[in-house]
């Protein structure tokens, strides 16, 4: 089974076991990601319904593409500009296309559930620190107003007549 997926503004034809290089996706090597923007799916010569269909993939590595040199020149104007660019890429291995990958998001959901209590613990101290930061801002505002001086009026230039 194959699918056409859109990620990073580009479209890719993928099947289980394929390796593709796409624009950077957040994650580390070994993480599983789900590509939900499926445009077309098929098996052999027949087209299948893509409603609710996702493609699961494993991140192999975060890398960068080849350097592209951008050189601009205007003849006889002494104008030359040289610039380089390297695109950040993510190498993906397609694990499954279609229904088989529904088990993969469950694996991702379990670590998120474990991380949720830690996030709540971090949020509580942040709430306590927030009022302390707000109080100095209120005190600083009157000082700024006291330091302001009215603008001096400039004398009109004298005309020589």
Q: Positive or negative CA dihedral for 50, 52, 53, 55?
A: positive
Q: Tens of pLDDT along the chain (161 residues)?
A: 999 999 999 999 999 999 999 999 999 999 999 999 999 999 888 998 989 899 999 999 999 999 999 999 999 999 999 999 999 999 999 999 986 434 444 444 444 445 455 555 555 555 554 455 545 555 555 555 556 667 777 777 777 76
Q: Are 13 and 79 in contact (CB under 8 A)?
A: no
Strand partners, 84: 69
Q: Are 59 and 35 in contact (CB under 8 A)?
A: no
Closest-CA residue to 13 (of 34, 41, 36): 41
First to last CA, the chain: 93
Measured between alpha carbons, how far is 61 from 157 in angstroms, rounded to an integer? Answer: 70
Q: Which two tokens stand for residue 49?
A: 């319904």
Burial class (CB in 10 A: 0-12, 13-18, 19+), 41: buried
For position 99, what pLDDT does the model report?
64
Phi-psi category of residue 153: left, alpha or beta, with phi > 0 → left and psi -120 to 50 → alpha = beta
For position 158, what pLDDT does the model report?
79
Rounded to two decimals, what is the model's pTM? Answer: 0.57
Closest-CA residue to 5 (of 41, 42, 38): 38
> 8-11 long-range CB contacts below 8 Å, 24 or more apart?
11/39
Query: For residue 91, how far is the Cα from the chain centroid?
Result: 16
């Amino acid at each position: 089974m194959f699918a056409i997926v859109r990620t990073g503004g580009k479209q890719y034809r993928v099947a289980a076991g394929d390796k593709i290089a796409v624009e950077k996706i957040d994650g580390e090597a070994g993480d599983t990601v789900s590509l939900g923007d499926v445009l077309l799916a098929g098996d052999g010569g027949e087209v299948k319904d893509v409603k609710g269909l996702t493609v699961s993939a494993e991140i192999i590595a975060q890398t960068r593409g080849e350097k592209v040199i951008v050189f601009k020149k205007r003849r006889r104007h002494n104008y030359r500009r040289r610039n380089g660019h390297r695109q950040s890429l993510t190498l993906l291995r397609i694990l499954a296309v279609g229904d088989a990958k529904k088990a993969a998001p469950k694996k991702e959901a379990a670590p998120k559930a474990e991380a949720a209590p830690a996030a709540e613990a971090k949020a509580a101290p942040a709430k306590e620190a927030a009022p302390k930061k707000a109080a100095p801002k209120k005190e600083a505002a009157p000082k700024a107003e006291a330091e302001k001086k009215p603008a001096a009026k400039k004398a009109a230039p004298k005309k020589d007549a």
